Amino acid sequence: MENKKTLLDTLGIEIKLLEKGKVIATMPVDGRTHQPFGLLHGGASVALAETVASVGAYELVDKSTQGVVGLEINANHIRSKKDGYVTATGTVLHRGKTTMVWDIKITDEQDRLISVSRCTIAVLNINKD
């Protein structure tokens, strides 16, 4: 997947596992992803969560005729984090013709829950002419 000059590249997000219905990605917790108090920014966690859901959803569609976009996302931030890495694991909960729902859990290196999100993805029919 090409991610140069995108949010993935800017935030240092790396896709580690991509299977049908499951995605795992990591993101550093550093100056790129901090809020002003030196903690992981909730928006960075949400960006990671939506990335995982979108990448996973795209793996499940017919790429010749369909695309995917985030439709809705919510997040609960459970624990703060100052440095290191976080890992997002996303699994598909619902796979419909026009929408998908993904569950994303973000954990730290000790497998402690940092954030949990649910993301709804819209499946779009596209014309690639």
SS (H, E, C) 78-118: CCCCCCEEEEEEEEEEEECCCEEEEEEEEECCCCCEEEEEE
Q: Say if 2 falls within a structural domain.
A: no
Q: Which residues are catalytic?
A: 50
- pLDDT tens by residue, 70-115: 999 999 999 999 999 999 999 999 999 999 999 999 999 999 999 9
Cα–Cα distance, 38 to 20 (Å, whole number) = 36
pLDDT above 70: residue 2: no
Is the whole-model pTM more than 0.75?
yes
Q: Say if 55 falls within a structural domain.
A: yes
- pLDDT tens by residue, 37-63: 999 999 999 999 999 999 999 999 999
Cα–Cα distance, 15 to 127 (Å, whole number) = 27
Question: 68 is in which domain, residue-wise?
Answer: 7-125
Q: Is 68 exposed, middle or buried (0-12, 13-18, 19+ CB in 10 A)?
A: buried
For the chain, how many structural domains are there in total? 1
